[in-house]
């Protein structure tokens, strides 16, 4: 077990993307209705994007809603304000809560205390998304609209809370029991067996994810290319927000061909009427808005 609270959060995996945590919570029976949150829960907000797009850690439940410790917020911007603050929220914009399985080593009180200690932290410079939580999460300084940090802040809190020390063993009493002078027969030493630890299997990559990563690198030419390993990691998921394909657009042929293969359209690299109709059908099948435009939500269902 880790010596911090990471084992309680998202299966021990860091994330900076709110829908990832919501999906994990629902898959593991840890998603709580918005009316039944409590101290230490991770709140998931939707401010009109149709998905979880902001988060924070509940400090307490109030008569009208919740007090929540949030990263990347401000009085003028709910989900991109650049500060760590305690906000008072009603249930109107709350989708629900992720409830970690707290124990004696890491408690809800400890998580809340760690989060509250960060109140007042700001981006430097303002509006840059350059903040210590992102630097820790990505392993380097980052800035720009593709690096919002409310969930990176929550991840940071869990990774920086240390487990409580185990209780010390009780000391022997002053009155010792009489010890027999006769030596007991020595017991045969137990044979020690060296058991080789099995190496953790490397995650298998998906051919669909690998094809997407290649298409993204070719079509969008990012400064830092996606590693074409077939692993649907944070950077690959983050890249979904860059993609926006729709009818009549010119260019991005490699990405258009990737989408056409996924939806069963003619693979010609042209986003025409047939491709739009096939994409819309795919969206309806997966409960998405069937506008025929390929963006983050559609790619979340498509790239697996």
* Alpha carbons 304 and 299: distance in angstroms, whole number: 9
Q: What residues form DSSP beta bridges with 68?
A: 58, 87
Is the domain spanning 207-302 CATH 3.40.50.261? The answer is no
Which residue is it, tokens 């299966």? 11
Give domain limits for the chain: 5-159, 207-302
Which residue is it, tokens 């109107």? 92
**DSSP secondary structure letters along 101-137:** ---SSS-HHHHHHHHHTTTT-B-SSTTS---HHHHHH
* Alpha carbons 41 and 62: distance in angstroms, whole number: 14
Contacts for 59-63 with beta carbons within 8 Å, 24 or more apart?
A: 59/86, 59/112, 59/115, 59/116, 61/37, 62/88
Q: What is the DSSP letter of 296?
A: H
Q: Residue 43, preceding bond cis, omega within 30 degrees?
A: no
Q: Do 3 and 163 meet the contact criterion of CB atoms below 8 Å apart? A: yes
Nearest alpha-carbon partner for 65 in 82, 102, 90: 90
- Cα-Cα-Cα-Cα dihedral sign, residues 249, 255, 261, 267: positive
pLDDT tens by residue, the chain, 304 residues? 678 999 999 999 999 999 999 999 999 999 999 999 999 999 999 999 999 999 999 999 999 999 999 999 999 999 999 999 999 999 999 999 999 999 999 999 999 999 999 999 999 999 999 999 999 999 999 999 889 999 999 999 999 999 875 544 455 555 545 544 555 555 555 555 555 555 656 667 899 999 999 999 999 999 999 999 999 998 999 999 999 999 988 889 999 999 999 999 999 999 999 999 999 999 999 989 999 999 999 999 999 9
Count Cβ atoms within 10 A of the Cβ of residue 180 and give its class: 0-12 exposed, 13-18 middle, 19 or more buried: exposed
Instruction: Note the pTM of the prediction, 2 decimals.
Output: 0.57
């Amino acid at each position: 077990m880790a010596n911090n609270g990471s084992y309680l959060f998202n299966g021990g995996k860091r994330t900076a993307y709110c829908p990832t945590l919501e999906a994990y919570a629902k898959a593991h029976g840890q998603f709580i209705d918005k009316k039944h949150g409590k101290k230490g829960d991770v709140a998931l907000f939707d401010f009109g994007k149709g998905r979880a797009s902001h988060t924070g850690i509940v400090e307490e439940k109030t008569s009208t809603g919740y007090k929540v410790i949030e990263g990347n917020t401000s009085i003028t911007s709910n989900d991109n304000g650049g500060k760590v603050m305690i906000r008072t929220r009603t249930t109107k914009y709350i989708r629900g809560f992720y409830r970690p399985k707290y124990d004696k080593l890491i408690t809800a009180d400890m998580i809340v205390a760690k989060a509250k200690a960060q109140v007042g932290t700001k981006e430097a410079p303002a509006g840059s998304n350059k903040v210590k939580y992102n630097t820790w999460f990505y392993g380097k300084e980052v800035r720009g609209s593709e690096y919002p940090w409310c969930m990176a802040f929550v991840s940071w809190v869990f990774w920086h809370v240390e487990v409580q020390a185990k209780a010390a063993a009780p000391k022997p009493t002053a009155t010792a029991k009489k010890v027999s002078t006769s030596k007991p027969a020595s017991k045969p030493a137990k044979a020690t067996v060296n058991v080789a630890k099995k190496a953790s299997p490397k995650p298998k990559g998906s051919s669909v994810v690998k094809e997407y990563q290649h298409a993204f690198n070719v079509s969008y030419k990012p400064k830092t290319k996606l590693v074409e390993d077939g692993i649907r990691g944070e950077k690959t998921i983050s890249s979904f927000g860059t993609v926006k394909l729709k009818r009549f657009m010119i260019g991005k042929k490699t990405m258009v061909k990737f989408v056409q293969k996924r939806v069963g359209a003619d693979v010609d690299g042209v986003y025409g009427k047939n491709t739009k109709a096939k994409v819309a059908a795919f969206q309806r099948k997966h409960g998405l808005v069937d506008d025929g435009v390929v963006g983050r939500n559609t790619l979340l269902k498509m790239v697996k």
